[in-house]
Amino acid sequence: MQRRSGVLDNKLKFFALTTVIVSSLIIPLVVPHILHQSMIYHIAIHIVSLDISIFLGLVSIFAFVKNSNKRMFFMALGFVTLAIVEVIMLLSSTGNLNNVVLPAVNIELPHIVLLVMITLFGLGILKAR
């Protein structure tokens, strides 16, 4: 029995598909800033980072579903957390979200999310079976 090759089997095609979907969803956020040269490059960096983090998150989720490995679970959560922080930073850089500061400790939310992300990646790398 032959196995059909799909988009999910070809990582380059899958990356292209996720990039097209993510970028098309973000267009309304970017259009008002197209002519602002100082902002568009900053926003473009966050869009590229979001594309890559969503792609890696999906690939690691599929790998976890296939293998049910605890390490892969933590790595998948780390990439999902990276995508979340990139969304927060993209919304902040486009002016759609004010800097969210936790008043009790006076720390910005993206810093907390980055700490969670690094912790999850660390657990994924260091977690013993």
- The torsion angles phi and psi of 28, rounded to 5 degrees, stand at -60, -30
In a domain? residue 5: no
CB-based contact 102:115 (threshold 8 Å) = no
pTM for the whole structure: 0.82
The Cα-based distances of 12 to 24, 36, 56, 78, 79 in angstroms read 18, 31, 12, 22, 18
Token code pair at residue 71: 């390490």
1 within domain boundaries: no
Domain membership flag for residue 69: yes
- Total domains in the chain come to 1
Q: Express each pLDDT in 22-61 by its tens digit.
A: 989 988 888 887 777 878 888 889 899 999 999 999 999 9
Domain that holds residue 71: 11-126
| Residue at 48 is within a domain | yes
* Domain-embedded: residue 4: no
49 to each of 11, 66, 82, 86, how far by Cα in Å? 17, 26, 9, 7
pLDDT tens-digit map of 98-129: 878 888 888 888 889 999 999 999 988 887 55
Is 2 part of a structural domain of the chain? Answer: no
Arithmetic mean of pLDDT, 4-13: 72
Residue 56: inside a domain: yes
